[in-house]
Amino acid sequence: MICTDLIKAIESIAARYEAQQVGIVSDAAVVLDAVTSRYPTIRIAVSEEDKSLETVQQIWDFLFAHRITRRGLLICIGGGVLTDMGGFAAATYKRGIDYVNVPTTLLAMIDASSGGKTGINYGGLKNSIGCFAPPVETLICPDWLKSLPANQWLSGFGEMLKTGLVSESSLWYHLLRYDLEKMDSEALKPLIAQCVAAKKRIVEADPKEEGLRKVLNFGHTFGHALEEISIQKSDVSSPPLLHGYAVVYGMIAELYLSVVKLGCPKEPLQQLTQVMLHYYGKPQCKCSDREALVALMQQDKKNERTAQINCTLIQNIGSPLINQVITPEEAHEALEYLFSL
Ligand SMILES: NC(=O)c1ccc[n+]([C@@H]2O[C@H](COP(=O)([O-])OP(=O)(O)OC[C@H]3O[C@@H](n4cnc5c(N)ncnc54)[C@H](O)[C@@H]3O)[C@@H](O)[C@H]2O)c1
């Protein structure tokens, strides 16, 4: 839910638990002293590389050290890396305790912190270990966005664009009209609310991603491969791609396939390409190794058969089609298109 008074909202949920049964795991980049001074807190420096079993162990150790029982509550304050890991730690600690998400990045607000997907990266694969465990509540306060760097705004906005493309054309056109230069969190609030509501509708209809929820994976088959390879090949001169950037590039490839395979009108591809070139730039990372990208897509956990590449494509804005199998040749063609822009 979108809150006007975050502290009051957290306190009213925490009040349902014994005070000594409430713990907090917080992203080290954010401060919420009014709450963290009241409950035991572990602060974690967060990056995609830290989204690991070792960090989850730190959270388990913290919960054990504070003798949190199965009736306890973990409050997870941070971006998507933190809420994914905090949720996974809570879901597995003593077979599962309650947790609340307080997302502090745009991406976590509109996507990562709701819907119950939790997990870590493992074996070089993103989010390859995890479970479905919905938070008791997700408390969204767009004021956090005031301290968020521009590239993180863009990363979150990438997932908002995806929500628009798979859910409804009015949301898509509102998003295209939003002035990203200004990064005005107040003006973004109604769009955040619409994206959250769209995701909620989809997740409630299919909480375990057996069908409909796969529409939210639009852009993610190519996006995850680009993100993973950019992590593997990153160095000082070439940082890894942020998740939402990878999703934007992934959507370009998947919109291209939507046009070629399903006859989707070219307009959304042209519009997204303009947004990409204006705000995100071309993929700059060392992620253009086509063979490696296709091999990664063949290992994607969304595939139902080994080595088969499975995508969500769209027939038009708001009309997604799940379980679209694409051949390695088609994947290469879509990558050629993306890297030719
Ligand atoms: N569970 C899901 O359904 C789901 C959906 C989408 C993405 N994800 C996951 O989310 C992760 C990405 O999340 P993210 O984009 O939030 O990245 P992130 O969690 O890495 O946060 C980005 C950076 O911003 C910092 N930060 C957090 N809040 C801040 C604030 N208010 N001001 C300034 N800095 C702040 C963080 O410390 C970090 O350095 C990925 O691991 C992805 O797999 C999960």
Q: Single out the residue of 78, 28, 82, 24 nearest to residue 55, CA to CA.
A: 82
Joined together, the tokens standing for residue 222 give 């190519």
Query: What is the best residue among 27, 120, 145 to mutate for testing ligand 1's pocket, by most ligand atoms within 8 Å of CB?
Result: 27
193 pLDDT higher than 80: yes
Is 127 near ligand 1, meaning CB less than 6 Å away? yes
Is 125 near ligand 1, meaning CB less than 6 Å away? no
pLDDT at position 170? 95
Joined together, the tokens standing for residue 63 give 């919960």
pLDDT at position 283? 87
Ligand 1: distance of its center to the CA of 243 in Å? 8
300 pLDDT higher than 80: no
Is 102 near ligand 1, meaning CB less than 6 Å away? no
- Cα–Cα distance measured from residue 59 to residue 86, given in angstroms and rounded to the nearest whole number: 7
Q: Whose CA is nearest to atom 11 of ligand 1?
A: 80
Q: Single out the residue of 221, 199, 197, 222 nearest to residue 212, CA to CA.
A: 199
Is 98 near ligand 1, meaning CB less than 6 Å away? no
- Cα–Cα distance measured from residue 140 to residue 188, given in angstroms and rounded to the nearest whole number: 13
125 pLDDT higher than 90: no
Q: Single out the residue of 26, 87, 84, 24 nearest to residue 51, CA to CA.
A: 84
Distance set, CA 165 to CA 66, 144, 154, 190, 276 (Å): 45, 26, 16, 17, 15
Joined together, the tokens standing for residue 281 give 């730039």
pLDDT at position 123? 87
pLDDT at position 236? 78
Q: What is the CB neighbour count within 10 angstroms for residue 67? A: 11
187 pLDDT higher than 70: yes
Ligand 1: distance of its center to the CA of 121 in Å? 14
318 pLDDT higher than 90: yes
Confidence at 1, pLDDT banded by 50, 70, 90 = confident
Report DSSP letters for 192-217, one per residue.
Answer: HHHHHHHHHHHHHH-TT-SSGGGGGG
Average pLDDT over residues 280-306: 81
Which letter, b or e, does each residue of 177-203 get, where b requires 16 or more Cβ atoms within 10 Å of its Cβ? ebebeebebeebeebbebbbebbeebb
Atom in ligand 1 nearest the alpha carbon of residue 144: 31
Confidence at 23, pLDDT banded by 50, 70, 90 = very high
17 pLDDT higher than 90: yes
Q: From 3.30.420.40, 3.20.20.100, 3.40.50.1970, 1.10.240.10, which CATH number describes the 6-147 domain?
A: 3.40.50.1970
Is 258 near ligand 1, meaning CB less than 6 Å away? no
Q: Which helix (H) or strand (E) holds 86?
A: helix 80-92
pLDDT at position 287? 67
Joined together, the tokens standing for residue 55 give 């960090």
pLDDT at position 235? 83
Q: What residue ranges of the chain are covered by domains with CATH 1.20.1090.10?
A: 150-340
Joined together, the tokens standing for residue 93 give 């600690």
- Cα–Cα distance measured from residue 184 to residue 189, given in angstroms and rounded to the nearest whole number: 9
Q: What residue ranges of the chain are covered by domains with CATH 3.40.50.1970?
A: 6-147
Is 243 near ligand 1, meaning CB less than 6 Å away? yes
Average pLDDT over residues 131-155: 96
Q: Whose CA is nearest to atom 18 of ligand 1?
A: 79
Q: From 2.40.10.480, 3.30.450.40, 1.10.1060.10, 1.20.1090.10, which CATH number describes the 150-340 domain?
A: 1.20.1090.10
Q: Share the mean pLDDT of the chain.
A: 93
Confidence at 134, pLDDT banded by 50, 70, 90 = very high
Q: What is the pLDDT of residues 33-67, one digit of tens each?
A: 999 999 999 999 988 889 999 999 999 999 999 99
Q: Whose CA is nearest to atom 15 of ligand 1?
A: 107
Atom in ligand 1 nearest the alpha carbon of residue 118: 1
Ligand 1: distance of its center to the CA of 107 in Å? 6
Q: Single out the residue of 250, 245, 267 nearest to residue 315, CA to CA.
A: 267
Q: Single out the residue of 123, 208, 121, 106 nearest to residue 163, CA to CA.
A: 106
Q: What is the pLDDT of residues 212-268, one digit of tens each?
A: 999 999 999 999 999 888 888 888 788 889 999 999 999 999 999 999 999 999 999
